[in-house]
Amino acid sequence: MPNAKVVFITGLPEKIVEVVSGYTPEGFETEMVRGDAPIDEQIKAVEDVDFILVFGASLDDKVLRAARKVQIVQLLAAGYDTINLRLLRELKIPCCNNGGANSLAVADHAVLLMLTLYKQLLPAVASIREGRWNAPIDGFNTFEIADKLVGVLGIGNIGRQVARRVQGFDARVQYYDLFPLTDERERELGVKRVPIDELFRTSDIVTCHTPLTPDTYHMANRERIGIMKPTAVLINTSRGAVVDEQALIEALREGRIAGAGLDVFEKEPVAADNPLLSMENVAVTPHSAGTTWDTWFRRAEFAYRNIKGVWEGEPPMAVAQDYDIAN
């Protein structure tokens, strides 16, 4: 049997590319193509390959149409909102995400944002550097996660990891998902399924972990943000457009919710004049929740295991939901 060919279309640094491609199985070949390479170069690269591996790059429709032999498009990321799933469906090419390989990193980051807000971490650091010892801490504005009700919006790989982590802080967990868990799985995880409006109305912390699809676009909308507790905080480490950003800005300005922790924005890179960046009750990071050194090994291992399995006749794993992604 001839070698299977993989093209890795990416914007990653060379060192990480080497780590990922180092997982190429025996009998396979991996060629790297930069994600900013001319479309003609990308088309030529995919014309005779069996698999496309992607991270940090979008795939032009012309490139997808040229991939006549490709058996799957394998993502190293969890999200698939930059991929034209409708076209891939027409071409009968499955698109697979990373199978939860970055779930630990993103879950850690979600809890980090919760604690950053609850413990007034950023104002406290700033006050020390400015010579104002303990100035932001007044005894009324710092909190514990213990006994709080955490609402998990999306209970997939990442959402389940977040549930486990906050339970370690003695929080209670409720969730909403378009595809609910079984009763048995809910009991195992110790989580309660609730309607989405109840989740927003009753949670002390709402944390978003759903993929971006037409059904989840602005799922945290003006009405739902409007029924949150004034003491509640909203965390988003999923995709920016899951949250109506303008509605969130208004709620924060008017003090209708206590704060927000955001790793993602509706437009990225986020504009320097975005009001969220200047709010003291907002903690922001640059879409970095899933990026740790540890994740690359899990991402690569899963990706090539999936590719090898498909090559050997097994069904693909972690196939992206069959949605047309919202613009």
Annotated catalytic residues are: 239, 268, 287
pLDDT at site 280:
93
Name which residue leads in pLDDT, 134 or 112. 112
Mean pLDDT on 136-142: 95
pLDDT digits (tens, 9 = 90+) for 217-259: 999 999 999 999 999 999 999 999 999 999 999 999 999 999 9
**Strands, sheet with 191-193, edge to edge from the N-terminal-most edge strand:** 191-193, 172-176, 149-153, 205-208, 233-236, 259-262, 282-284
Q: How far apart are CA 47 and CA 63, in angstroms?
A: 9
pLDDT of residue 107: 98
d(CA 121, CA 123): 6
Average pLDDT estimate for 130-158: 96
CA–CA separation, 183 vs 237, rounded Å?
26
pLDDT digits (tens, 9 = 90+) for 64-99: 999 999 999 999 999 998 899 999 999 999 999 999
Q: Are strands 205-208 and 191-193 parallel, antiparallel or unpaired?
A: unpaired
Q: According to the model, what pLDDT value does residue 327 have?
A: 31
d(CA 204, CA 155): 17
What pLDDT score does 161 carry? Answer: 98
